[in-house]
Structure 1
């Protein structure tokens, strides 16, 4: 295919846009198999992370996966935006005292992108991030199955455009973003009061969570 430059869209931008399109299209064959990252606790208490579903008897939870943002079910959002969120959910991974994280968050807010924010503040968070992205640098942004490591206004903008997110916010005035949550959810351990001859309570059995299955349609070629 021949790309003809024009006065309003220089050649180097056309080439870059074409490269982005090819990168997104190349992910189409594998997006449906992305089920998330599982945090698995072994019998000895050792924690491991895997992208393969654990056996039903294992203690496991989904750290992150291909589920759409909670905002997709928000009837307040315009229908077209809800469809984009359902196909290519956006997740932002941040940490404290991170200027690029703040800049990236501001870009998403300015465009009115409904996104989920995960914070990385503990050793378990860092291990999960390493499993997800292969690196430990932040910010880290996922748009569907596309991973963007570090902040680049140009790259983030091009991939958001390719996914179909509006360039300017179309969010209703009463829209409220969900609060940021830790990448790995932790449950507080309550110490039992010491009582003589007390019989220790049997902990409840925690069922394994089932990962969310991504939608089957992928017209724009972005992998979840």
Structure 2
């Protein structure tokens, strides 16, 4: 009796193992969404998804990916700032995935102020907590409290995203280029033998 159940279980497992397949989703040139177990044709442009503007996040350990998800790290810096360079080095040596925002003008400074900065650089945000100025002990304590490991656990092929302006000017330009929203028009009633007011 037990052998029979074991054989049935193994048979069921073998049959369903073949049903496990990777699914692909792509949008073709006419805008149709296609789902398939076959990879998209070469003519379809591959689109790589990024998480919160970060670099390649593949291969992070579970504890590190949870820390990144729950307490993302952002470094606000400026060129020619020695303390900013020291802070960036600390983050990289410790293996902390972070986004770097540069302060180059008053719009960038205003964006940093909205994030809680007081104008001192470097400015670090770890989740909802922030650190103005560089002090290695307080930065380490904030990162450890947020769940980041004390030694680097980044994969060897991890690449940090390049620094971005804290207030990129692209946002305003993109809004100006948007076409006006067209309101759908209701169809004109047809003259035929249909009852007035009747619609399909």
Do Structure 1 and Structure 2 share a fold, with TM-score over 0.5? Answer: yes
1:154 is matched with 137
| 1:77 to 1:71, Cα distance in 2 relative to 1, 3 A | farther
Q: What is the distance in 2 between the residues matched to 1:70 and 1:76?
A: 17
| 1:203 to 1:116, Cα distance in 2 relative to 1, 3 A | closer
Which TM-score applies when normalising by structure 2? 0.58
Are residues 1:93 and 2:67 paired? no
| 1:206 to 1:160, Cα distance in 2 relative to 1, 3 A | farther
Which TM-score applies when normalising by structure 1? 0.52
Q: CA deviation at 1:70?
A: 4.3
Q: Secondary structure of the equivalent of 1:133?
A: coil
| 1:189 to 1:170, Cα distance in 2 relative to 1, 3 A | closer
Map 1:84-163 → 2, pairs under 5 A: 84-163=67-146
| 1:72 to 1:126, Cα distance in 2 relative to 1, 3 A | closer
Give per-residue Cα distances to partners, 1:9-43, cap 9 Å, x unaligned: xxxxxxxxxxxxxxxxxxxxxxxxxxxxxxxxxxx
Give per-residue Cα distances to partners, 1:124-181, cap 9 Å, x unaligned: 1112222322511110000000011111111001111111111111111110010100
2:166 is matched with 183
Give per-residue Cα distances to partners, 1:50-88, cap 9 Å, x unaligned: xxxxxxxxxxxxxxxxxx754498231112110110001
Q: What is the distance in 2 between the residues matched to 1:79 and 1:139?
A: 29
Map 1:1-224 → 2, pairs under 5 A: 69-71=52-54, 74-187=57-170, 203-205=177-179
Q: What is the distance in 2 between the residues matched to 1:80 and 1:165?
A: 8
| 1:187 to 1:148, Cα distance in 2 relative to 1, 3 A | same
Q: How many residues align?
A: 129
2:184 is matched with none
Q: What is the distance in 1 between the residues matched to 2:96 and 2:105?
A: 27
Equivalent pair of 1:69/1:115 in contact (CA under 8 Å)? no
Structure 1 unmatched ranges of 5 or more = 1-67, 191-201, 208-224
Larger Rg: 2
| 1:130 to 1:114, Cα distance in 2 relative to 1, 3 A | same
Equivalent pair of 1:93/1:120 in contact (CA under 8 Å)? yes
- Choose between structure 1 and 2 for higher RCO, CA contacts under 8 A separated by at least 6 residues: 1
